[in-house]
Chain A
Amino acid sequence: MKNKRLFFSLFLSLIFLFSAGMYYFAQFPDWFKITQIIYLVSPFIAVLSGFYLVKTYGIGGSRGKVFLFFTLGLLAWFLGDVLWMLFSVFLDIDPFPSVADVVYLISYPLLLTSVLIEVFTNKISWTAKKLVPAILLSAFLIIFTSYYGIYYAYSTDATMLENIVSIAYGVGDTLIAVLIIFVLMVSLEYQKGQFFLPWIGLFMGMIFMVFADILYAVYYEPYGLLIKTYQYIDLLWIASYLTFSYSQLCIASIVKGAQDKIKPKK
């Protein structure tokens, strides 16, 4: 079990270091296509590890459904990324607003469904000791996401459609900021258990995701102009996807461990 965890963390860290190295050495805009293709590796791994976890749990129980909806949310993000890259890199079309945004936005209700099923199944004990730091963190993120994602996203120069799509992202991120409180509460339920670390990983992944989205909302223009410093925002999204992958692979390996315990040894 520990060996598997070590292998997952080494493998995913190597992917992160490789991606970070490519972004560091890349000359923009010449290497834009390459960095975008490298970027897609991480969400793809997250989707694959998600479906592997769903298969390990089985679709019948509530836990299988939790991770099915979560993986479908990741799949929506991955497909959104693919479409975004197709439009911006290969077809040279402005990807915002486009069908890529619709696919991205679908992920938010899927993630909401996933976390709500988990919360209702897990029977969390809402003690003040756990709840207070979770609410404080969540409130901090909600203020950021609603300011930068909703208020700051509105532009008088943009079309109505552009404004609606921008604000929809802000609303989605604010929703994730609320969901973070639940994910943290679920994680704390598993203290001293093997599920604790992977659930903290899911929590961290969501934090990375929200911070990347906030930075993107704030630095949308220099990011769009391919100024190198702002391209590093991608690394936060990559970190988020790889953290999700790590957590999903760890949970799958724990569940597999429980199954192997009673399987007759060959």
Chain B
Amino acid sequence: MQLLMNYTSTMNQSDSSKTELVVAAIEIISENFGSYTAKLYQEYYMDKSPQQIYESVQELLNEVVGPTKTAEILKKLNNPNP
């Protein structure tokens, strides 16, 4: 949670949709890959576009938790290009 609060405080208000996406993405990564991995991805997503963030999470999950679980988890994440 602290991780998410730190991240949101560093984001500009104009980036609110990206912020929401990143917060959700970091939460998903933290749940599945642990807090240490989430921290690494938090920094990595700083300069990535919403589409790149979405695809990165999708790719990670597909490999590790499988397609069924991925589809279920990704419902939390709004696809920037549906």
Kindly list chain A residues whose C-beta atoms are within 8 Å of the C-beta of B63. 193-194
Residues of B within 8 A of A56 (CB): 34, 36
A255 adjacent to chain B (CB < 8 Å): yes
Query: Is B66 a contact partner of A196 (Cβ separation < 8 A)?
Result: yes
B8 lies within 8 A of chain A by Cβ: no
Question: In this assembly, does A195 line the interface, its C-beta being within 8 Å of a C-beta of chain B?
Answer: yes
How far is B38's CA from A64's CA once the two chains are assembled, in angstroms? 12
> Whole-angstrom distance between the alpha carbons of A195 and B72 in the complex?
16
The one of B30, B34, B37, B66 in contact with A193, judged by C-beta atoms closer than 8 angstroms, is B66
Interface size on B, residues (CB 8 A): 27
Contact of B36 among A57, A121, A123 (CB under 8 A): A57
Q: Majority SS of interface residues in chain B?
A: helix
Bound CA–CA A254/B60 (angstroms): 10
Contact B40 A263 (CB under 8 A): yes
Which residue of the partner chain A has the closest CB to B30?
A61
Which residues of B, 53-67, contact A by the 8 Å Cβ criterion? Answer: 60, 62-67
A57-B34 CB under 8 A given contacts A190-B69, A262-B41, A262-B44? yes
Per the bound structure, the CA–CA distance linking A57 and B69 in Å amounts to: 20
A191 at the A/B interface (Cβ < 8 Å)? yes
Contact of B64 among A61, A62, A125, A194 (CB under 8 A): A194
Interface mask (A170-210 → B, CB under 8 Å = 1, otherwise 0)? 00000000000000000001111111100000000000000
Instruction: Pick from A60, A62, A192, A254: contact of B66, CB below 8 A.
Output: A192
Contact A64 to B65, CB < 8 A, known contacts A258-B60, A262-B40, A262-B41: no
Q: Which 10 A-B pairs have the closest CB atoms?
A: A193-B66, A57-B34, A60-B35, A58-B36, A58-B35, A61-B35, A192-B66, A193-B65, A262-B44, A61-B30
